[in-house]
Chain A
């Protein structure tokens, strides 16, 4: 008898919210499918677990918020709760129905996401029953927590918006507070990107219990609130915001803004200057060279002058209003193979460590290109290394430097490298959409050479002014940090900018450029360099030795016999680095090298006991050819250690 009205209430909820639930559920599934489809189409497919993680952290909270708004806030703000409370049914049952309906809905969506992830997962993800159980526990605990928070906050009428803002501030504060290790605590630990896809052995019981406990507290608070003072508290909260509420909200808002402002101020790292006596610098444009010992002053001055001669016309050509300081620090410890080490975070200007004492003109060009790359990256608001623009940034900066230097040998080497890359890739090249994939397959120096040759062809086709016009349109504008600025920036594609400047589609241009580039093989100087590049392919495999040790084995396959009349010998380098399913661009800073002489490419690279089963590893094979300043990549792959 006590549950007589339950089916009626459930039917009422479905009739009232069924369409919204259908739309939200459909939207969620479509988003999920699109995210997975885009992921699979991307140059480097991430683990489907990442899409799951994103859906749990971003989409499900949004859906929970909408459901909380519909199921609870609307009922209380519209006072229809008073009508139901006078019916022959326990008000607690009314609340329980709403709570369960919301929980089952968001939980059901999470289960759909998990099921689809499981269907999509391949051997690389190794989503076995145990990992699936761990992922299931993590996701369901977090979903319970999210819904509990939304359930509780939804009773606060209009004040719930202030509560969400405060919760956001608390989360940001916790995440940024160095004394709090969020990886050890509750929902933060369960959603830790570093272990979400990897932790396949240990069930995170402690974090799950913490999350469940926190969820239970919010749930309990949600059920208690409507009972407090016989519901008069909730009635007060459900009243429209009056003037005193506005004052309270304004005070909270000012407090939040002040706190955020204070935090942002701390994050805004001021530019710093070299404080040593051994610095040569220019004010306009701001360039500083740190050389540490007086005997290097002359070389440092030369570098300063060359940088100034590059930057001043660039500033005029791109009409750059504010220039970050370009700082180069001499570092004699850098080896021949890596003569400069650029810091890519450029919030406080451009900083490059470089061993410019050992530079020839080509290495100097690499340094200058890197410095200009970072300079434009900083002036454009850190936006120009996004995939659609990255090729233009790399190509333009190299083009600018090489145009200034006008050294024919550089051009020949870059063209030979670019031609070799086109032949190696064996498929049409789309610099706009596949930049990261190209860079991974043929290495960044080769990708930069491709972009450089594209700009040279572009200049031949449309003239120098068209190069500058395209750079002005795409690379020069500063993108605002706020979301509107980013959206506005994304609104204008590089394809449309290209068409506006040239009147030609960029896809057509890429086809013509590659045909033209392949024709450059017949240039004697280019052909000579290309003849020195061995036609081999490196490939890695994961094997287990007889005594059960995991081994990473690298082998070479010789496509054409090596021309030993042209070159004396080679050095082969197998680079390997542990990656996550979320790595899009490989960071080599923590990578390892296995280097050997390899005249006949019968060399075997072998790395034992370095990786465990299930680890994702990126492996690249590079051959150092004396005629080239930078190694030629002959193989790259992502593999999962079996």
Chain B
């Protein structure tokens, strides 16, 4: 691994980043930090600004305003050395179709000083990728595996994954995620995993950021989020106007979603701190379990309601 003079500085720092394409404000004050060695899940709906954020991190595009730094250095000031420390798997793989994995390895080793030929060969073998077949005939899943092999063979300090599992079959997806997890655990590689697939994040991320409308609406651990977002439900026959689950709601909760159905009414609330499961509730109210996907939708919806 390359010597690192940046010490304990975060792997990624985005501070109040703005980016506009014509009339469209894509990023509007985005801020986040990714610490060394952590797997950071970057969640957001389509069009929320995930891909633009990754383009900024890769130095493919520049921010209109704000700070984009990797390993403590501004990406614009040290583009090439920073990229040499990054392994990148794009959403769609656009390898030269005439290149076989072997030719691709020979091509890429000219760009990465830490290129590990043996590791590359091992990864290709593990993914059962034919060494001499042109990548033009590879399936989407094979191309994604090839991209991950390429990214890891450069022995990166930071792995940036841009929705890499979209369109993969379940087996390939499992293999892919297993390798990402291993890399993080054993090599201590920082991973920035952008996706809209909650399951992927749930299985590997230690911390997540949720982006909506170009802003970070959540930045913290997955556990804290799931503990802080709680749903309460009351049946229609017990309900009355403006009824709340309890007095505690008035003081510390943000209403993310308010759903009125014919049978019952549901409130999804976000608390600053964890809400004890035995918190006393008003008559008729009960606590309702939420999946991570429900939480994600509620958080995003809460942001949208807040904006409206």
Contacts and interface: CB of A to CB of B under 8 A. Distances in A.
Interface residues of A, number: 26
Nearest to B55: A230
A7 B106 CA distance: 12
B305 interface: no
B83 A88 contact: yes
B81 A90 contact: no
Contacts of B81: 1, 88
A78 B94 contact: yes
Interface string B75-88: 00001110110001
B289 interface: no
Interface in B27-44: none
Contacts of A83: 90, 93-96
A266 to B, nearest CB: 44
Nearest to B113: A4
Interface string A292-326: 00000000000000000000000000000000000
A107 to B, nearest CB: 26
Contacts of A229: 21-22
Given A80-B95, A232-B21, A87 B90 contact: no
Interface string A80-113: 1111011111100000000000000000000000
A231 interface: yes
Contacts of B94: 78-83
B248 interface: no
A8 B107 contact: yes
A87 B60 contact: no
B83 A82 contact: no
- Among A80, A83, A89, the most chain B Cβ lie within 10 Å of the Cβ of A83
Contact of A5 (B22, B60, B95, B110): B110
Interface string B52-72: 000100101110000000000
Nearest to B111: A5
A16 interface: yes
Contacts of A559: none
Interface residues of B: mostly helix, strand, loop or mixed? loop
Contacts of A546: none
Contacts of B90: 82-83, 86
A89 B98 contact: no
B232 interface: no
- Among B81, B108, B111, the most chain A Cβ lie within 10 Å of the Cβ of B111
Interface in B85-126: 88, 90, 92-98, 107-108, 110-113
Contacts of A79: 92, 94
Contacts of B79: 88, 90
Nearest to B88: A86
Interface residues of B, number: 27
A85 B81 CA distance: 14
Contacts of A81: 94
Interface string A133-162: 000000000000000000000000000000
Given A82-B94, A88-B111, A230-B55, A2 B80 contact: yes
A2 B81 CA distance: 9
Interface string A1-19: 1101101110110001000
A11 B96 CA distance: 14
B21 A80 contact: no
Interface in A362-376: none
A467 to B, nearest CB: 62
A98 to B, nearest CB: 14
A230 B62 contact: yes
Nearest to B91: A82
A87 B98 contact: no
Contacts of A9: 110
Contacts of A231: 60-61
Given A86-B88, A88-B112, A90-B79, A230 B60 contact: yes
Given A80-B94, A80-B96, A87 B108 contact: yes
A9 B81 CA distance: 17
Given A7-B110, A8-B111, A229-B21, A87 B83 contact: yes
Given A4-B110, A87-B83, A230 B61 contact: yes
Interface string A211-229: 0000000000000000001
- Among A80, A81, A231, the most chain B Cβ lie within 10 Å of the Cβ of A80
B80 A90 contact: yes
A7 B109 CA distance: 12
Contact of A4 (B21, B93, B107, B111): B111
B111 A87 contact: yes
B194 to A, nearest CB: 14
Nearest to A232: B21
B87 to A, nearest CB: 10
B80 A89 contact: yes
A368 B51 CA distance: 82
A89 to B, nearest CB: 6
Contacts of B98: 16
A1 B113 CA distance: 10
A543 to B, nearest CB: 66
Contacts of B83: 86-88
B107 A86 contact: no
Given A11-B110, A78-B97, A81-B94, 4 more contacts: A1-B81, A80-B97, A86-B60, A88-B112
Interface of B: 21-22, 55, 58, 60-62, 79-81, 83-84, 88, 90, 92-98, 107-108, 110-113
7 contacts: A5-B110, A12-B107, A79-B92, A83-B94, A86-B88, A89-B80, A231-B60
Nearest 8 pairs between A and B by C-beta? A8-B110, A88-B83, A230-B61, A79-B94, A5-B111, A83-B94, A88-B84, A88-B80
